[in-house]
Amino acid sequence: MLKIERANFIMRRLGELYPATPVPLDHRSLYELLVAVLLSAQCTDKRVNLVTPILFAEANTPFEMQHMRLDRIYEIIRPCGLAPKKSSAILELSKILVERYDGIVPENMKKLE
């Protein structure tokens, strides 16, 4: 068996043994998932899922979020902890997505970094 055949066999087998796991963070778009993942640092998924509907009711796209006041984002996400850093990160992330990627979350890991 060639290396590539072996690698493909292993990947298929792993896929059978470990099927895709559902994402525990509630989201309707890649942008919402990205923000939810950011909020999940040092916070439970349960708490993130309580906070994100409030945040996304006010702004659920990078275009909308970039216009929110920093103190308003802070106020909403405070229950998740580390709100000063996270609110700044959400605002900056939104601006970057709008400026560099026309508001679309890249699906390329290198661009996400």
Does residue 9 lie in a domain region? no
pTM: 0.82
Q: What is the CATH number of the domain that holds 78?
A: 1.10.340.30
Does residue 96 lie in a domain region? yes
What is the distance between the alpha carbons of residues 34 and 97, in angstroms, rounded to a whole number? 11
Contact 48, 39 (CB under 8 A): yes
67-72-78-83 Cα dihedral, nearest 10 degrees: 50
Amino acid found at 109 = M
Does residue 13 lie in a domain region? no
Does residue 2 lie in a domain region? no
Give residue 1's pLDDT: 66
Does residue 57 lie in a domain region? yes
What is the distance between the alpha carbons of residues 96 and 89, in angstroms, rounded to a whole number? 10
- How many domains would you assign to the chain? 1
Cβ-based neighbours of 50, under 8 Å, separated by 6 or more: 79
Around Cβ 49, how many Cβ atoms within 10 Å?
Answer: 16
Residue 56: give the domain boundaries.
30-112
46-60 pLDDT per residue, tens:
999 999 999 999 999
Does residue 24 lie in a domain region? no
16-50 pLDDT per residue, tens:
888 887 889 999 999 999 999 999 999 999 999 99
